[in-house]
Amino acid sequence: MKNDINDEQPILDAVDKFLESQVRPYAHQLEKEDIYPAEIVERMKEMGLFGCTIDAEYGGMGLSASTYAKIIERIASVWMSISGIINSHLIMAWAVQRNGTEEQKRHYLPKFATGELRGGVGLTEPDAGTDLQAIRTTAVRDGDHYVINGTKTWITNSMYGNTIALLVKTDTHAQPRHKGMSLFIAEKGPGFIVTRKLEKLGYRGIDTCELQFDNYRVPADRLIGGVEGKGLQHVLNGLELGRINVAARGAGVARAALKEATAYSQLRKTFGKPICEHQAIQLKLGEMATRCEAASLLVLNAAQKFDRGQRCDMEAGMAKYFATESAMENALECMRIHGGYGYSKEFNVERLYRDAPLLLIGEGTNEMQRIIIAKQLIERNPA
């Protein structure tokens, strides 16, 4: 394991201090106005957060997934949007670190770690989300370059970032389809066009955009791993880490909702006593607190298996499914405990309620997670 619990506490303390002094006072207004948190991102660069899971030999912090998950849970409990700025970037970095050529690692990972090159993953298309094998973006070899054409959508870090791991079809006739898919390191340049920023219910402040590639030329040495046809495998490797991140975000949002509800229930009085003394509210708080603890433990279990190099798609799926559903349920209960004030934009409660639904969808829908869990359950327990 890359680091133990004794090593991680100073890091977690530094993150807590950063969140309290430089994020919490500004998050509400930035989110309300959908303003990109440029100053916060610069501070995150200085702290090395864009290199959390990048190996130290390439300039990163070399943190374990377990420590990384704890960092993300803390961040999401204050403002979920900025946890996504790190997540998409580190999925891209992980794809290069795990699958790239040594030359690609030496060139890109130090720049990813500092945030000099920062971005995410270009997977989703207007007609291809969960079924990534249905993508239509193509890359055609032309000498020492590939020429890429197509459209991507819901791409995080694509407006203010400058690099994405771009999934394309290098062979549109391959069967099975995944054998025709490749992953490129795509830096912004001619033909790499950000067509529009997408308006969202929640998860505001962060740049989520639609991209168009119009005869975009990428050097052949940017093909991750140097071999065509491995792109989907490279992406799925990175999505395990991404799924742990989203699960940690769910745990963070669930915990934030519990914190808001617990505080408010002690201040608000009805029938001559604080509402926390009413059994109906106590039942809600008890369930919310239990969800938080269970979610955090499921996230930690998945992260520890990831750190040990063990297969963890079932465990990551369980963590993602339960923690994000917990975020949604706790956000709703928090709103109900706040009553009319929970529906007001003056309080953080409505932001939690708007942010939570994204987690049920991102990095694989929760319907898909349950299917993954069931298939793995059968595979691991044959009759």
pLDDT at residue 1 in the model? 44
pLDDT at residue 129 in the model? 82
Q: What is the pLDDT of residues 214-246, one digit of tens each?
A: 999 999 999 999 999 999 999 887 888 889 999
> Looking at the structure, do residues 369 and 245 belong to the same domain, yes or no?
yes
> Looking at the structure, do residues 250 and 330 belong to the same domain, yes or no?
yes
> Looking at the structure, do residues 263 and 373 belong to the same domain, yes or no?
yes
Rounded to 10 deg, the angle between the 313-338 and 279-307 helix axes is 160
> Looking at the structure, do residues 286 and 301 belong to the same domain, yes or no?
yes
pLDDT at residue 375 tops 90: yes
pLDDT at residue 174 tops 70: yes
User: Is 363 an active-site residue?
Assistant: yes
Q: What is the pLDDT of residues 46-93, one digit of tens each?
A: 999 999 999 999 999 999 999 999 999 999 999 999 999 999 999 999
> Looking at the structure, do residues 13 and 47 belong to the same domain, yes or no?
yes
pLDDT at residue 6 in the model? 57
Report yes or no: 191 and 146 within 8 Å, Cβ to Cβ. no
Of 315, 363, 367, 379, catalytic = 363
Continuous H helices in the chain: 5-18, 24-33, 38-47, 65-78, 80-99, 102-114, 231-267, 279-307, 313-338, 349-361, 366-380
Residue closest to 24 by CA, chosen among 89, 76, 85: 76
Q: Which domain holds residue 226?
A: 120-231
End-of-domain residue from the set 231, 251, 279: 231
> Looking at the structure, do residues 245 and 275 belong to the same domain, yes or no?
yes
**Taking all residues of the chain, what is their mean pLDDT, rounded to a whole number?**
95
> Looking at the structure, do residues 147 and 167 belong to the same domain, yes or no?
yes
Handedness of CA 38, 39, 41, 45 (dihedral sign): positive
CATH number for the domain spanning 28: value is 1.10.540.10
Distance CA 144, CA 226 (A): 12
The one-character DSSP state at 205 is S
φ, ψ (nearest 5 deg) of residue 139: -130, 125
pLDDT at residue 288 tops 80: yes
Position 362 confidence tier, pLDDT thresholds 50, 70, 90: confident
Position 3 confidence tier, pLDDT thresholds 50, 70, 90: low
pLDDT at residue 84 in the model? 92
End-of-domain residue from the set 188, 215, 231: 231
- Mean pLDDT, residues 109-130: 94
pLDDT at residue 137 in the model? 98
Tell me whether the omega of the peptide bond preceding residue 176 falls within 30 degrees of 0, making it cis: yes
pTM of structure = 0.94
How many domains are contained in the chain?
A: 3
End-of-domain residue from the set 71, 87, 114: 114
Report yes or no: 326 and 295 within 8 Å, Cβ to Cβ. yes
> Looking at the structure, do residues 247 and 324 belong to the same domain, yes or no?
yes
